[in-house]
Amino acid sequence: QEWLEASGGGLVQAGGSLRLSCVISIPSYTPWAVGWFRQAPGLEREFVAAITRFGKMTHYADFAKGRFTISRDVAVNTVYLQIDSLEPEDTAVYYCNLIDKWPVTPKGSWGQGTQVTVSS
């Protein structure tokens, strides 16, 4: 059973930056593509970005292009999401998940996520 834990969220002012981390634990080590998703209050969860098993390919939602950067460190089983020039509209709970079907279909159940709140 895979287990993913997202962290790094917080309260930031508009224009600031955050780096979210997703630590991945998989009983039988098989690199998976990993994605970030977010859910704002009252809205459905939406795809943000994904990265392939060894980080050679990435895919972004249209709104994420330019301000969001996904990366991974295979050695420490961690995927990152760098968010720059934060906007109040980025306020959401951010989740990570394995990608079942590239690039946007999540695989497993959802963890707790990490809250990002952007003040104007």
**What average pLDDT does the segment 2-14 reach?**
94
What residues are paired with 60 via a beta bridge?
A: 49
d(CA 36, CA 5): 12
User: Which range among 34-38, 39-43, 80-84, 108-112 shows the weakest confidence by mean pLDDT?
Assistant: 108-112
| 112: CB partners within 8 A, 6+ apart | 5, 6
Whether the CB-CB separation of 20 and 12 falls below 8 Å is answered with: no
Parallel, antiparallel or unpaired: strands 10-13 and 114-119: parallel
In tens, the pLDDT along 42-94 reads 999 999 999 999 999 999 999 999 999 999 998 899 999 999 999 999 999 99
Q: 89: phi > 0 → left, psi -120 to 50 → alpha, else beta; which?
A: alpha
